[in-house]
Amino acid sequence: MSAAAKSPGKFTISQAIDSLGVSKFTISIFFLVGIAMMFDGYDYMIISYTNTQIMQEFFGPAGNDALKGALSSWSTIGIVVGSFAAGPLSDKFGRRKILTIGTFMYGLLTIPCIFAPNYEVFAVFRVLAGLFLGVCTPIVTTLFTEFTPTKQRSFFITFGMAWMIVGWVMAALVGTVMVQVATWHWCYAIGALPVIYAFIFGKFTPESAHWCAVHGKLDGAVKTLERIEKRAGKEIPYELKPENLLVPPVSAKSSPAEVWKGKYLKTTIALVIIYFAGNFSIYGVNAWLPALMLEATGGAVTASYMLAMAQNAASVVANCTTGFVSEAMGRKRNLIFGYGLSVVACLIVSQVVKLPAETSFWPYLIAFVFMGFALNYAITAAQPMMSESYPTEFRNSGVATIVALGKSAGILSPIILGGLKAAGWAFSPLIALLAAPMAFGFLAGFLLPKGAKGMNIDDIADEAADAKA
């Protein structure tokens, strides 16, 4: 299309991105942003596959069961704090810049874990790496929201979260092999690769045009649109000039505190409950899944970890499925359905694990695949609601607040469940217990608005401005 054939009229950034549909640029962002999320998933899950070896190195063959449960929580402490910081930082300084720095730093701070001489040093650097790891989930969700076409936005947000599960599977594969043929240290050497990847991400990922526009950087927004157009291999049917951009009204107040005020208060409370519930159950299952699978396979390490990988593979399918269903039936209905399904799944698995482990491999496999699917379907269904509920100027502050408070469940869950296990609880009541938070999430879903199905980013901003008028 020649410059003369392009419309000289006004246009919004959403109209420009939507005009290209799903393009080569969309796919490139899916991989660039997704790989950053994959390392996030790997970093979290690798501890579950190496904790026994780590505790034996630091405390001898008997290990230390009291500190073993806490081992999964150290990075999560950093993640919670880092997630809180990610919101205002990326809303002020830009999505790309903060995610690039975060990716580089959590890779860099993983390196000392490889050479940690004792438990205390290992734990300190897990917390420090977690601080920068915490920026990933909020910004990834926001970037998928702001870079993808309106009609496919929910799919890319939810499918994008599947990269975290890919990281879990990668951790299972690496953990399964390395703890048998080498040492746990190599698992964390691989976890340091984001030091290199950060440069690739920073080079090929543009800044969000929506972020540029609401910060008055119209030239920057146009440059991003030009990069999108070039990589897409298609032309945007508008003259890409700063003066042609229509920018939605920007709130005079755009601090992180806005997510707790006015029309956003009920939505924020509901989403925090929902995300906390989902994380409590998922982190609880993942922290103890390898141990349960080891019991189910009579001590066969490879078979037990393969069971865990099958469960994680089902989680990837769930991430893909929930995006399609969300577009079809709406965000709110899909979320409520997912949490209801999870309650049922937890109760079913709590009964299956009562079967004799040595003769029940296939019932265990089917039950855990179903639970992995249900839990991840539910929590991923919340992702579009999180990013679509707030305007661009404090969107990532909203997402980061929910992620930070929600992921605090990842600190509590392994410790609580580990304490109950040490107190003599069997796996059956422990898994049945996970149905309780999912039931709270199910009820909290009814507090949510209907969602932004079919609305582009600029429509969401206009609606927010109208509500304040």
Asked if the model's pLDDT at residue 6 lies above 70, the reply is no
Per-residue pLDDT, 1: 46
Asked if the model's pLDDT at residue 439 lies above 90, the reply is yes
pLDDT-based confidence at 395, cuts 50/70/90?
confident
Per-residue pLDDT, 4: 45
Asked if the model's pLDDT at residue 463 lies above 60, the reply is no
pLDDT-based confidence at 254, cuts 50/70/90?
low
pLDDT-based confidence at 2, cuts 50/70/90?
very low
Tell me if 118 sits within 8 A of 58, measured CB to CB.
yes
Asked if the model's pLDDT at residue 246 lies above 80, the reply is yes
- Tens of pLDDT, residue by residue over 60-98, are 776 666 676 677 778 878 888 888 888 888 888 999 999
Q: Which residue has the higher pLDDT, 454 or 446?
A: 446
Q: Which domains does the chain have, with CATH numbers?
A: 10-245+253-468 (1.20.1250.20)
Tell me if 23 sits within 8 A of 225, measured CB to CB.
no
- Tens of pLDDT, residue by residue over 213-236, are 988 899 999 999 999 999 999 999
pTM value is 0.82
Question: Which range, of 33-47, 64-78, 99-113, 389-403, averages the lowest pLDDT?
Answer: 64-78
Could you tell me the two tokens for 388? 């679509």
